[in-house]
Amino acid sequence: GYFEQVVRQCRYSSKDLQGIEYIDSYVFNQAEYVRFNSTVGKYVGYTEHGVYNAEAWNSDAAGLAQERGELERYCKGNAAIAY
């Protein structure tokens, strides 16, 4: 069988809210093929399929803006719980 996984995580490097990084990873059969990183601000592909998806997703301005907003909504909104 095949295994598809999406992993969304917040990395807190300090108690300062400026040190938070949001990562949205897409994995197929234990190999990450595309990732959104809030520090980079766009999707990056790691395989041929991932590069294709990253280019398509990066060209969608509304979707990319929503993904960038997850740092504020999801990570910073839950920072007190994480600490």
Question: Domains in the chain, start-ordered, CATH in brackets?
Answer: 4-81 (3.10.320.10)
pLDDT attached to residue 82: 67
- C-alpha 64/C-alpha 67 separation (Å) is 5
CA 30 to chain centre: 17
Q: Smallest Cα–Cα separation from 50: which of 26, 24, 22? A: 26
1-32 pLDDT tens trace: 889 999 999 988 877 777 889 999 999 999 99
Of 69 and 81, the structure prediction assigns the larger pLDDT to 69
pLDDT attached to residue 42: 96
pLDDT attached to residue 17: 74
